[in-house]
Amino acid sequence: MNRYLSRRELFRFWSLVASSAALAPRPAAAELPIGSPSVGYDAVVDGEVIEDRVFEGVAIGVRVWANHVTIRGCRMRRLISDGENGSGVVVRHDTVGTRIIETEVDGRDSISDGAGIALWNGSHAVEIVDSHIHHMQRVGISVGSTTYVEFPTALPEQSEHYIARNVIEYCGTFGRSGDAGSGIVVVGQSHRHTIRDNRVRRNRGHGIVLSGSVMGNGAPGTPAFDESPTWNVVADNVVEYNGEEGIRNAGANYTWIRHNFCYANGGLPIHVVSLGGTSDSRGVDLTGNREVY
């Protein structure tokens, strides 16, 4: 009886053929190819379910290339950075509907340059719920890139992520402060996300930060554009014992910051900052928050 290869098997076969030379040292900026041994699992088929698996000793636990992928009950640990990665889950651009449920990203024994969960610019409608991200050397959950220098054009828009009922704690263990060592970071063209009912605690930087950028003067290392997250909701979160500010809104416009409990943080419980340009924190709504200094 003839046996036909499935779509996944074809992806695996051709990627292994095409990337046989990729096991040699590669430029730091190159992306790991599909099927790389440095990636625990590449989700390339729409609707895939990755469930109850452990990924360790890789640069990326699960990398999502397809739509409506579900990652449930998985554990990522002992992540090993290749110089630009070291993430439990990476959701790439042009994907829709990824669901990350009851998943743990444990950075305690990791060597990681990446976020625990990284949502790339251009991804949409990602759900991260009931998960535990902890002891990452840098950011717990990153929504968008944390640097603008490498982008010659505006960042692709991402929208409508739902981040709820997670525990994000003890991130920034490498000693990074500010955005780079925070629990949840939202930057760039990030619109209409909901961050609700999370417990964000004991991260070295801020608890939750939404940050825009202002066009620089053209000098190396300055942003090329004004970019601001807009119409995001940050509600009903407990933000406690973080090294810097609890919730920081730096240039993000039309943010609803409502009914959060922020206490015992190293900086202000909630701080709204205008960066200038169009990233001026216009229309921020602060309602019903409990702030304890």
pLDDT digits (tens, 9 = 90+) for 229-275: 999 999 999 999 999 999 999 999 999 999 999 999 999 999 999 99
71 CB-near residues (< 8 Å, 6+ apart):
43, 50, 51, 62, 64, 89, 98, 99, 100, 101, 103
CB 74 within 8 A of CB 54: yes
For residue 29, give the 3-state DSSP assignment.
coil
Please give the domain boundaries of the chain with CATH numbers for all domains. 43-292 (2.160.20.10)
Structural Rg of the chain based on CA atoms: 19
* CA dist., res. 182 & res. 172, Å (int): 6
* Predicted pLDDT of residue 98: 98
* 56-78 pLDDT per residue, tens: 999 999 999 999 999 999 999 99
Strand arrangement, sheet containing 247-250: 39-43, 60-64, 87-91, 117-119, 141-143, 184-187, 208-211, 247-250, 270-273
* Predicted pLDDT of residue 17: 30
CB 189 within 8 A of CB 224: no
* pLDDT, mean over the chain: 87
* Predicted pLDDT of residue 26: 30
* Predicted pLDDT of residue 77: 96
**pLDDT tier for residue 9 given thresholds of 50, 70 and 90:** very low
* 133-189 pLDDT per residue, tens: 999 999 999 998 755 555 566 778 999 999 999 999 999 988 777 888 999 999 988
Give me the percent of the chain exceeding a pLDDT of 90: 73
Give me the percent of the chain exceeding a pLDDT of 70: 86
Mean pLDDT, rounded, for 38-43: 97
Q: Tell me which residue of 108, 110, 102 sits closest to 86, measured CA to CA.
A: 110
